[in-house]
Structure 1
Amino acid sequence: MSLEWEQVVVDAADPVALGRWWAEALGWVVLNDSAQEYEIRPAADRVPGLVFVPVPEGKTVKNRLHLDFRPDDQAAEVAGLLALGARRADVGQGEQAWVVLMDPEGNEFCVLRDRRT
Structure 2
Amino acid sequence: MGLKFDEICIDARDATALGTWWAEVLGWPHGVDDDGDVRLHPPPGAGPDWIFIAVPDEKVVKNRIHLDFRPDDQQVEVDRLIAMGAKHVDIGQGEQSWVVLADPEGNEFCVLAPDD
Distance in 1 between residues matched to 2:68 and 2:5, nearest whole Å: 16
Give the secondary structure class of the aligned counterpart of 1:50. strand
Matched with 2:18 is 18
| Percent identity (aligned) | 52
Maintained 8 Å contact 1:89/1:108: yes
Q: Paired residues, what number?
A: 115
Give the secondary structure class of the aligned counterpart of 2:43. coil
Maintained 8 Å contact 1:29/1:44: no
The letter of the residue matching 2:114 is D
The letter of the residue matching 2:75 is A
Give the deviation of 1:43 after TM superposition. Answer: 2.4
Distance in 2 between residues matched to 1:95 and 1:49, nearest whole Å: 33
Is there any run of 5+ residues in structure 2 with no aligned partner, and where? none
Matched with 1:2 is 2
Output one character per residue of 1:60-85: Cα deviation in whole Å (capped at 9) or x when no partner: 00000100011111111101000100
Distance in 2 between residues matched to 1:45 and 1:111, nearest whole Å: 20
The letter of the residue matching 2:28 is W
Matched with 2:65 is 65
Matched with 2:32 is 33
Matched with 2:110 is 110
Give the deviation of 1:24 after TM superposition. Answer: 0.4
The letter of the residue matching 1:47 is G
Output one character per residue of 1:4-49: Cα deviation in whole Å (capped at 9) or x when no partner: 111111100100100000000011111x324631010222786312
- Ranges of 4+ aligned residues in structure 1 off by more than 4 Å: none
Matched, 1:96 2:96: yes
Give the secondary structure class of the aligned counterpart of 2:65. coil
Higher strand share: 1
TM-score by length of 2: 0.92
Distance in 2 between residues matched to 1:82 and 1:23, nearest whole Å: 15
The letter of the residue matching 1:51 is I
